[in-house]
Structure 1
Amino acid sequence: MQVVNWLPRTELPFAAPSRPELLQALEPFEPFDASGEEAAAPVAVVKPTTEAPVRPSERVKIEVPRPSAAPKVAAVADDAPAPVAKAAVVPPPRFALQLLRAGCCLLLVELPTGERFQARDPAYLLLKDMLRAAGLPDSPQIVGEPVRWPLLVRGNMDQGPDAARDFVQGFVSARLEDEPCVCLWLIGLPAVRFAGEANAEAWYRELQIDGLGSVWALPGLELLMEEPQRKADVWQAMRRLMARWKTTDE
């Protein structure tokens, strides 16, 4: 029956006296794990309480932050590639030039109206006066058609300043191969810019241009009419260069 200790309720006759240590209460048994260490204390399990439903009037309001008026600057990584700036589109220049021959000189003249010179045009009459003062024939001969730029109204051909310069210089150079000249007059800013590769600072001066030789830069005829005081500067510069074409004519 697996009885370890048995104690009678009453004293038995002729029985041996009881041992007092057997009558002491035994200490509660504490289990040990297999490793010999004490087992961990039991963990109390807390049952979740059921929350009471929230009434509509008692709902918690969640405030959404409003965007500030000041714009936020997006952070850019240090290794992010820099934005590539697009090259500005340069519109093609617009001008009209006429090549004339007077004696041993060629004249590349800006057409003020864009059309050929007429006999009674004020600009053409001024040009005739300048040729007479220079000792050259005052009835210049027209050489070729006027050079009008841009060449095409539509199309993808490059018609920028560089293309205009190459075209004008090529046109004049071809005429010089047909018949050379002693001095090339560049009259007007477009002629100075696209044939002489210079600007208004070069007016009244003599320049040496590859492929064109010696050129003389002058203001446009329309500008000389609007500002007559410039004619004195033209005359002073002409006196220094006049010997160049007068010697050839003699």
Structure 2
Amino acid sequence: MISESRRRAFLGAMQITTWLPRTELPFAAPSRPELLHFFEPEAEPTPAIEPRLVPQPTRSEPEPVAPTPVASTSPAADAVRSVMPRVALPEPKKPAVKTREPKTVAAEQKAAPPRFALQLLRAGNVLLLVELPTGESFQSRDPAYILLKDLLRAARLPDKPQQVGDGEPIRWPLLHRGSLDQGAEAARDYVQGVVAAELEDMGCACLWLIGSPALRFAGEVEADACYRELTIEGLGVALTIPGLEQLMEQPGSKAQLWKAMRRSMPRWVIGLGESTSSVHE
């Protein structure tokens, strides 16, 4: 138990001025009898509601009706009206709608940078620039990689293409932030620069462009320009091939690809035969 002085200090801190203990406290001051007496609060008298007198509407005399003016039909008034000129009121002007020029709109709506992933491979004397369907490097059990190996065997090329350089895919955009221009033109220059650097180190008989990003940013053609050869400045002759996923989904496209490959096959088959003969000598 605490002393009376400390107890009152605690109660004062809690802003309690009147209190009664449940049991008798040791060392506590005796309770005052007037605090223990309970007084019932007196009931407040209910105010009497006096009835309000509603005023009765009084009859008022009808207001005099103003006479309506009668139009003058005298010949003199008609003559004056015919002589007076009619004044045309100006029409309200409509607010002018501000139209922006197409150049301004195009500048404001800046196109988002293209996104793609390409893998640069080498199979014999053919260089392959292949679109990665999943954005990651090929795995041995990927359906797209198995189809690519079938295409290489049909073209009489090694069916185990080797990765070029460090083996990392060509990804775009390069940076996710910053002020560097990462538009379509910058992507084209970058892809062509990587392929040109590999051709300087080791040439090739033909360049395979597989997939829409490879056609667009290396061959500068759209996806509909497939199954034919292109001559690209700085890169040489290229064969345009649809994406591997499109070949799997559209079996009929394999027949068109086979016709295009047969037309271009002498390029790498002849080159392969010459290189083999030189090695035996």
TM bin (shorter chain): 0.5 to 0.7
AA paired with 1:102? A
Distance 1:211 1:110 in 2: 21
* 1:93 pairs with 2:114: yes
1:138 to 143, 159, 162: 159
Distance 2:266 2:142 in 1: 29
* 1:212 pairs with 2:231: no
2:125 to 87, 104, 107: 104
1:127 match: 148
Distance 2:149 2:100 in 1: 59
TM-score in terms of structure 2 length:
0.60
Query: SS at 2:204's partner residue?
Result: coil
Distance 1:187 1:228 in 2: 16
Distance 1:166 1:221 in 2: 24
AA paired with 2:134? T
Kindly provide the CA deviation profile for residues 149-168 of structure 1, in whole angstroms up to 9, marking residues without a partner as x.
11111111111100000000
- The verdict on how the C-alpha distance between 1:182 and 1:85 changes in structure 2, with shifts beyond 3 A counting, is same
- The verdict on how the C-alpha distance between 1:82 and 1:133 changes in structure 2, with shifts beyond 3 A counting, is closer
1:117 to 135, 138, 154: 138
1:172 to 190, 195, 206: 195
TM-score in terms of structure 1 length:
0.68
Distance 1:228 1:153 in 2: 37
Query: SS at 1:207's partner residue?
Result: strand
In the alignment, structure 1 segments of 5+ residues that lack a partner are 1-70
Distance 2:203 2:100 in 1: 54
**Deviation of residue 75 (structure 1)?**
4.9
Distance 1:81 1:198 in 2: 35
**Deviation of residue 200 (structure 1)?**
1.9
**Deviation of residue 132 (structure 1)?**
0.2
Q: What pairs with 1:31-42 in structure 2 (closer than 5 Å)?
A: none
* 1:226 pairs with 2:245: no
Distance 2:161 2:214 in 1: 17
* 1:184 pairs with 2:207: yes
Distance 2:94 2:117 in 1: 51
**Deviation of residue 181 (structure 1)?**
0.3
- Over the residues paired in the alignment, what is the CA RMSD in angstroms? 1.9
2:38 match: none
Q: Which has the higher helix share?
A: 2
Query: SS at 2:209's partner residue?
Result: strand
Query: Structure 1 vs Structure 2: percent identity of aligned residues?
Result: 65
- The verdict on how the C-alpha distance between 1:216 and 1:81 changes in structure 2, with shifts beyond 3 A counting, is closer
Distance 2:143 2:100 in 1: 56
- The verdict on how the C-alpha distance between 1:122 and 1:82 changes in structure 2, with shifts beyond 3 A counting, is closer
Q: Which portions of structure 1, spanning 4 or more consecutive aligned residues, are displaced by more than 3 angstroms? A: 80-84
Query: SS at 2:127's partner residue?
Result: strand
**Deviation of residue 201 (structure 1)?**
2.5
**Deviation of residue 97 (structure 1)?**
0.1
2:95 match: 74
Kindly provide the CA deviation profile for residues 197-226 of structure 1, in whole angstroms up to 9, marking residues without a partner as x.
001221001000001000011100011111
In the alignment, structure 2 segments of 5+ residues that lack a partner are 1-91, 274-281
**Deviation of residue 234 (structure 1)?**
0.4
